[in-house]
């Protein structure tokens, strides 16, 4: 509640200064470069300051989501999505440089593994989010079920597609969000792992987290959309 209030108040302030969503996105990109630079030092100071810049990135996301001006057209949404992925890749590069500087020869291999795991996680979520293809021509046949979905009251869940099993026990919302392993959770894992251990542990944790997200999506598809 307090976090949302602060983000909303900050959004109102920067809107009065004519800052757009794109401007906030650019700030988060600069913050990702700063985080990567500090993480590349591979020392406690670099880990702490890099983690603070990760927190700044998430703060930018919270503020941008509460901005009212600068309508959310398709181009803006695409730009934000691409920037969100790019800044995470930049952070990974900084972590890999830091691990290599610390003498870990396998640093780039772990970084590649983390990127592959992230790509698989994202591909699975996109595949599950895609609407099912209809075998009938929409111009010749409109199913009654589809018409009923158009007037489905808010809060009523969409029918599960054929072939997707119902979870035996619905998971709590917080657990689903953690298992989805969205970018905020990944940044938290990076901050904790680099501060307490090193970049190698961060990469291993990212790989494990993506594997958990993939497993959770297969077991409980209702978790889709909880994280990027």
Question: Domain residues of the chain, as ranges?
Answer: 2-130+161-223
Cα–Cα distance measured from residue 166 to residue 157, given in angstroms and rounded to the nearest whole number: 13
pLDDT mean over 88-101: 96
**The dihedral sign for the CA sequence 106, 108, 114, 119:** negative
pLDDT mean over 195-212: 94
- The model's confidence at residue 170, banded by pLDDT at 50, 70 and 90, is low
Token pair 């990212």 in the structure block, residue = 206
Give the whole-number percent of the chain exceeding pLDDT 70.
72
Cβ-contact 178, 227 below 8 angstroms: no
Question: What are the CB-based long-range contacts (under 8 Å, 24+) for 221-225?
Answer: 221/128, 221/160, 221/164, 221/167, 222/167, 222/170, 222/171, 222/176, 223/171, 223/176, 223/177, 223/179, 223/180, 224/125, 224/128, 224/129, 224/180, 225/125, 225/129
Q: Is the pLDDT of residue 217 over 70?
A: yes
Give the per-residue pLDDT at 200.
92
pLDDT mean over 205-225: 81
Backbone angles phi, psi at 181, to 5 degrees: 55, 55
Overall fold of domain 2-130+161-223: 1.20.120
Listed ranges 123-132, 158-167, 188-197; the one with the highest mean pLDDT: 188-197
- The model's confidence at residue 191, banded by pLDDT at 50, 70 and 90, is very high
Give the whole-number percent of the chain exceeding pLDDT 90.
49
Cα–Cα distance measured from residue 108 to residue 99, given in angstroms and rounded to the nearest whole number: 8
pTM flag (> 0.85): no
């Amino acid at each position: 509640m307090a976090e949302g209030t602060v983000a909303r108040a900050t959004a109102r302030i920067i809107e009065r200064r004519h800052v757009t969503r794109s401007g906030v996105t650019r700030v988060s990109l600069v913050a990702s470069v700063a985080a990567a630079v500090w993480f590349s030092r591979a020392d406690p100071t670099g880990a702490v300051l890099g983690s603070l810049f990760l927190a700044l990135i998430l703060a930018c996301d919270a503020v941008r989501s509460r901005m009212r001006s600068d309508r959310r057209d398709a181009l803006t949404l695409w730009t934000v999505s691409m920037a969100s992925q790019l800044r995470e890749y930049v952070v990974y590069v900084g972590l890999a440089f830091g691990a290599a500087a610390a003498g870990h020869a396998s640093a780039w291999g772990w970084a590649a593994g983390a990127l592959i795991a992230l790509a698989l996680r994202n591909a699975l979520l996109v595949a599950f989010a895609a609407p099912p293809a209809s075998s009938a021509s929409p111009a010749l046949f409109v199913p009654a079920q589809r018409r009923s979905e158009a007037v489905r009251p808010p809060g009523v869940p969409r029918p599960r597609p054929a072939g997707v099993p119902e979870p035996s026990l619905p998971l709590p919302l917080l657990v689903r969000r953690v298992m989805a392993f969205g970018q905020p959770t990944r940044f938290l894992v990076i901050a904790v792992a680099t501060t307490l251990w090193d970049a190698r542990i961060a990469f291993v944790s990212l790989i494990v987290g993506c594997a958990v997200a993939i497993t959770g999506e297969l077991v409980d598809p209702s978790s889709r959309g909880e994280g990027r």
